[in-house]
């Protein structure tokens, strides 16, 4: 039911972007936006639960990242890179690769943003926006050609 609802919403929104983006890029951005909103919601909820703790931000960030790695993988597997294969062994490897790309993306985005602020003296918001666009592009290709690459067929 959830999968079908998300699919219908994606199909409903695509005509607005059809002239700008291929369907796969559109679904990548749309499911990424959904997963980002989920990440923020989980972070805010966890932060409120842990706000008396010295490690509230760290705990909320870790929990939100873990849960949205799982939801992001599910979203991309079911709506973006659907042609990548479906056997359980392959899916386990894909989840591991997805997690590595996601964690790399978080770390790279942090380091790139800090570098732009410190070295290039960019405004923090500008640096964050530039980093986000760059990392979205890099992560799309990593997910497409590393995590969810099409299975080779035996002749």
Task: Specify burial of residue 136 (Cβ count, 10 A radius: 0-12, 13-18, 19+).
Answer: middle
pLDDT confidence of residue 64: 92
pLDDT confidence of residue 155: 55
Total residues belonging to the chain: 155
Asked if residues 112 and 134 have their Cβ atoms less than 8 Å apart, the reply is yes
pLDDT at 152 over 80: no
Closest CA to 94 of 111, 109, 78, 77: 77
pLDDT, one tens digit per residue, over 75-131 is 999 999 988 766 777 888 999 999 999 999 989 999 999 999 999 999 988 998 999
Kindly report which listed range (13-17, 81-85, 151-155) carries the lowest average pLDDT score: 151-155
Q: In sequence order, what are the residues at sequence separation of 6 or more whose Cβ sits closer than 8 angstroms to the Cβ of residue 61?
A: 43
pLDDT confidence of residue 91: 86
């Amino acid at each position: 039911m959830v999968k079908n609802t998300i699919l219908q919403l994606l199909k409903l929104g695509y005509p607005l972007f059809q002239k700008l983006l291929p369907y796969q890029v559109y679904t990548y951005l749309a499911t990424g936006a959904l997963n980002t909103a989920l990440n923020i919601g989980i972070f805010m909820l966890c932060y409120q639960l842990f706000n008396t703790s010295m490690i509230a931000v760290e705990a909320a960030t870790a929990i939100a990242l873990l849960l949205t790695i799982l939801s992001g993988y599910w979203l991309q597997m079911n709506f973006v890179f659907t042609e990548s294969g479906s056997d359980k062994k392959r899916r386990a490897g894909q989840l591991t690769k997805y997690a590595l790309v996601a964690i790399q993306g978080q770390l790279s985005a942090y380091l790139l943003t800090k570098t732009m602020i410190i070295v290039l003296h960019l405004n923090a918001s500008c640096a964050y926006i530039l980093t986000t666009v760059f990392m979205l592009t890099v992560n799309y290709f990593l997910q497409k050609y590393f995590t969810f690459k099409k299975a080779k067929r035996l002749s």
